Amino acid sequence: MTIENYLRPLMEIFWLRPETAAWRACDCLALHEVEFTGPIADVGCGDGLFSFTRAGGRLNSAYDMFSTVNELEEFFDKVDIYDHFDENTTIPIVTEKPLYNIDVGVDQKLSLLKKAYSLGLYNEVRPADANESLPLEDGRFYTIYSNIVYWLDNYRNTLREMRRALAEDGQIILQLPNITMRDYSFFQRLYVRTGDPSWEWLHLIDRGRSDNIRQCKTYAEWKEIFSDEGLRIVHHRNYLSKNILEAWDIGLRPISPFLIEMANVLPPEKRLDIKERWVEAMMPLVSPFCLMENSTDEIHPPGFHLFVLKKIK
Ligand SMILES: C[S@@+](CC[C@H](N)C(=O)[O-])C[C@H]1O[C@@H](n2cnc3c(N)ncnc32)[C@H](O)[C@@H]1O
């Protein structure tokens, strides 16, 4: 499996945000060695586009997630402009079905759950706040996947809830930030850490994101937390290099509302033509960037962990 297999469909989905496509392609590569065996739950599934792509699903390139977003001015008030569902315009055309289905997708945002359900990947979607009890049946799931645990305040409760819903020999798959993650945020490193007012402007780039990344921990710290919650690590790797995370930290995010607004006034055929040429032009730039993942950097350890956990019996 090469980076292209994942990067191209992700670039087609996130075309105006190539940095997001790069991160998600690295997620897919890290997860490549892990098998998702059913029944499966996806906690914090969002719009499902990532899990759909990871599962081998592909969409017609005419599908464009940026065509239906909330009022773009809200971007500057730190509102999630993608928290929007319009059933008349958001119908995805699946060209390749995913290789497996996910039994239950959980998220707190109803609009994103509706988008996720429209992909045909999830058998069921259930709204819930993952800080509270999870709407998952006791002992039902062989695979519980989540890439959002670090957004949560009450993440230990979530781990306990996942363990409760896990089948006896089941696996919990988590993607979590390493202690180094904060070093790769310009706002955190140059302003929050130093308090130097000349870097205060970096909040324009950060937009509150790095505050949302609440749990950045070393392998040893995560291991101790898992052990306290009756879970042991059966597989681990670090991924997401400093290069990728620093590129993602800026990316096209600051100008993205304007790019979206410009794309949204184009006639559909012209828009698709530009999108296809854009993706073609970006691939040779983003692809080698993702491949830097494979080079080791002793001084700057990767910013993320992939953990596979099982119950301590
Ligand atoms: C960055 S998105 C990731 C979505 C999806 N897993 C993906 O990979 O594209 C984070 C998701 O976490 C969800 N989320 C954040 N806090 C949550 C909570 N307390 N309960 C449930 N979902 C939550 C958000 O609604 C959002 O869909």
How much is the pLDDT for 95? 94
For residue 161, how many other CB atoms are within 10 A of its CB?
A: 22
* 260 to 29, 80, 82, 263: CA distances (angstroms): 28, 14, 11, 5
- Regarding the beta carbon of 107 and ligand 1, being less than 6 Å apart is answered yes
Is there an atom of ligand 1 within 6 Å of 108 CB?
Answer: yes
DSSP lists the bridge partners of residue 94 as 59
Burial label, 183 (beta-carbon count in 10 A; 0-12, 13-18, 19+): middle
Structure confidence at residue 90 (pLDDT): 60
> CA angle 165-231-215, nearest 5°?
95
Residues 6+ apart with CB under 8 A from 195: none
Task: Ligand 1, residue 130: give the atom nearest the CA.
Answer: 20
Nearest atom in ligand 1 to 109's CA: 25
Q: What sign does the dihedral 99-143-176-80 (CA atoms) show?
A: positive
Q: Is the CB of 130 under 6 A from ligand 1?
A: yes
For ligand 1, say whether the CB of 65 is within 6 Å of any of its atoms.
Answer: no
Pocket flag, ligand 1, residue 100 (CB < 6 Å): no
Low-confidence ranges of the chain (pLDDT < 70): 1, 69-90
CATH of the domain at 284: 3.40.50.150
* Bridge partner residues of 177 (DSSP): 304
Q: Relative to the CA of 45, which ligand 1 atom is closest? A: 6
- Structure confidence by residue, pLDDT tens digits, 129-175: 999 999 999 999 999 999 999 999 999 999 999 999 999 999 999 99
Ligand 1 centroid to Cα of residue 154, in Å, is: 14
Ligand 1 atom, smallest distance to 46 CA: 27
50 lines ligand 1 (CB under 6 A): yes
How many structural domains compose the chain? 1
Place of tokens 């681990």: 236
Q: Is the CB of 10 under 6 A from ligand 1?
A: no
Q: Which structural domain, as residue segments, surrounds residue 9? A: 3-311
Question: Cβ neighbours of residue 52 under 8 Å, at least 6 residues apart?
Answer: 59, 98, 119, 121
